């Protein structure tokens, strides 16, 4: 049995029910809105929607953000299996999770992510799934960085021949300098990203999403313009 691939509800250790409240809110958003793109994962996904880059790059593509801080693979799996991708037909689902699975091995984390991909495809067989590599973490070189590197290498291999799935590698060199350090200018706490850090991962992510949608967003300093290459009006969907 792989605990990282067994769907599980987050234990309400604080007694405020926040995790389940977020899940229920996401269920309502799925019913009320018609997203083209759904982001799902942990705090690295959740915090993205509070950055200007979300409004500039992703809102014009009719995106929903189903990120919850501290989620592990088994928690995201439960959310997928319990309705968060129901009542919608997105064209793209973006997944980023795994950095919080501290107690699980590399193989278990990879298995958990692959199980989520299978669950997404079971719910939304028409959707293209973009699996993001896990970013490096920690100011200085550490064992977690090596574990993350191995996870990303395994995911790239395991997903390369899987239909309707793209692995978007997060190159450690985007964040780690020649001295092996990560600057707080990219990750303010050496895990969660600043505006500059998000810019580094979101530019290639946006390019991938645009290619899949064939809808392109022109990002300027004062405005954002969406142009549909398929000649379709996206409408007021999200």
Contact 44, 193 (CB under 8 A): yes
Which residues share a beta bridge with 147?
A: none
**How many Cα atoms sit within 13 Å of 169 on the Cβ side?**
16
Of the two residues 206 and 230, the one the predictor is more confident about is: 206
Residue 216 pLDDT: 72
Torsion of CA 94, 99, 100, 102, to 10 degrees: 140
d(CA 207, CA 132): 13
Name the DSSP class of 133. Answer: P
Model confidence pLDDT, tens digit, residues 160-214: 999 999 999 999 999 999 999 999 999 999 999 999 999 999 999 999 999 999 8
- Does this model's pTM top 0.85? My answer is yes
Q: How far apart are CA 186 and CA 184, in angstroms?
A: 5
Taking residues 27-37, report their average pLDDT: 94
Residue numbers annotated as active site: 43, 189, 192
Nearest to 125 by CA among 159, 91, 99, 153: 91
CA–CA dist 94, 139 (Å, integer): 27
């Amino acid at each position: 049995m792989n605990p990282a691939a067994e769907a599980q509800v987050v234990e309400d250790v604080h007694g405020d029910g926040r995790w389940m409240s977020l899940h229920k809110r996401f269920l309502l958003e799925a019913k009320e809105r018609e997203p083209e793109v759904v982001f799902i994962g942990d705090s690295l996904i959740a915090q993205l929607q509070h950055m200007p880059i979300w409004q500039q790059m992703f809102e014009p593509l009719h995106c929903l953000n189903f990120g919850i801080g501290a989620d592990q693979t088994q928690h995201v799996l439960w959310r997928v299996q319990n309705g968060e991708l129901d009542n919608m037909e997105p064209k793209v689902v973006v997944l980023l999770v795994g950095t919080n699975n501290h107690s699980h091995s590399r193989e278990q984390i990879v298995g958990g992510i692959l199980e989520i991909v299978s669950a997404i495809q079971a719910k939304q067989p028409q959707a293209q799934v973009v699996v993001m590599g896990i970013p490096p973490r920690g100011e200085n070189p550490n064992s977690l960085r090596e574990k993350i590197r191995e996870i990303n290498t395994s995911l790239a291999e395991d997903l390369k021949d899987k239909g309707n799935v793209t692995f978007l590698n997060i190159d450690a060199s985007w964040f780690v300098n020649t001295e092996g350090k990560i600057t707080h200018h990219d990750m303010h706490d050496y895990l969660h990203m600043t505006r500059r850090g998000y810019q580094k991962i979101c530019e290639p992510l946006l390019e991938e999403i645009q290619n899949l949608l064939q809808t392109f967003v022109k990002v300027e300093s004062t405005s954002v313009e969406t142009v549909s290459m398929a000649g379709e009006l996206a409408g007021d969907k999200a």
